[in-house]
Amino acid sequence: MVDLKSQYEKIKPEIDQAIQDVVNSTAFINGPAVKGFQEDLEKYLGVKHVIPCANGTDALQVAMMALGIKPGDEVITTNFTFIATAEVIALLGFTPVVVDVDPHTFNIDPESVRKALTPRTRAIVPVHLFGQCADMDAMMQIAEEFNLFIIEDACQAIGADYLFADGSRKKAGTIGHVGCTSFFPSKNLGCYGDGGAIFTNNDELANQMRVVVNHGMTVRYYHDFIGVNSRLDSIQAAVLRVKLARLDAYAEARNHAADFYDNAFKNHPKLKTPARFEKSTHVFHQYTLVTEGVDRNAMQEFLMKKDVPAMIYYPVPLHMQKAYLDPRYKEGDFPVTEHLCKTVISLPMHTELDEDQLQFITSSVLEFVNR
Ligand X SMILES: *Cc1c(COP(=O)(O)O)cnc(C)c1O
Q: What is d(CA 134, CA 75) in angstroms, rounded to the nearest whole number?
A: 17
- DSSP label at residue 311: B
55 binds ligand X (CB under 6 A): yes
Q: For the window 111-130, what string marks contact with ligand X as x by the rule CB under 6 A?
A: ----------------x---
Q: Is the dihedral of CA 326, 328, 331, 334 positive or negative?
A: negative
What's the min distance (Å) between Cβ of 57 and ligand X?
Answer: 3
Q: For residues 184 and 329, which CB has a smaller minimum distance to ligand X in the complex?
A: 184
Among 52, 56, 110, 159, binds ligand X (CB under 6 A): 56
132 binds ligand X (CB under 6 A): no
What's the min distance (Å) between Cβ of 60 and ligand X?
Answer: 6
In this chain, which stretch among 10-18, 50-58, 117-125, 166-174 interacts with ligand X, using CB under 6 A? 50-58
* Dihedral Cα 214, 220, 226, 229, nearest 10 deg: 30
Among 80, 82, 324, 368, binds ligand X (CB under 6 A): 82
Whether the CB-CB separation of 177 and 150 falls below 8 Å is answered with yes
Residue 53: which residues within 8 A CB-CB, separation 6 or more? 59, 62, 195, 196, 197, 198, 213, 230, 231, 232
155 binds ligand X (CB under 6 A): yes
Q: What 3-state DSSP class applies to 99?
A: strand
Residue type, 320: M
286 binds ligand X (CB under 6 A): no
Among 61, 182, 200, 273, binds ligand X (CB under 6 A): 182
In this chain, which stretch among 82-90, 289-297, 302-310, 349-357 interacts with ligand X, using CB under 6 A? 82-90
Whether the CB-CB separation of 87 and 98 falls below 8 Å is answered with no
176 binds ligand X (CB under 6 A): no
Among 7, 38, 57, 77, binds ligand X (CB under 6 A): 57
Q: What is d(CA 303, CA 52) in angstroms, rounded to the nearest whole number?
A: 38
Rounded to 5 degrees, φ, ψ at 311 are -125, 155
Q: What is d(CA 243, CA 236) in angstroms, rounded to the nearest whole number?
A: 11
Among 156, 200, 286, 337, binds ligand X (CB under 6 A): 156
Q: For residues 110 and 131, which CB has a smaller minimum distance to ligand X in the complex?
A: 131
Query: Could you list the residues that contact ligand X (CB under 6 A)?
Result: 55-57, 81-82, 84-85, 127, 153, 155-156, 182, 184, 196
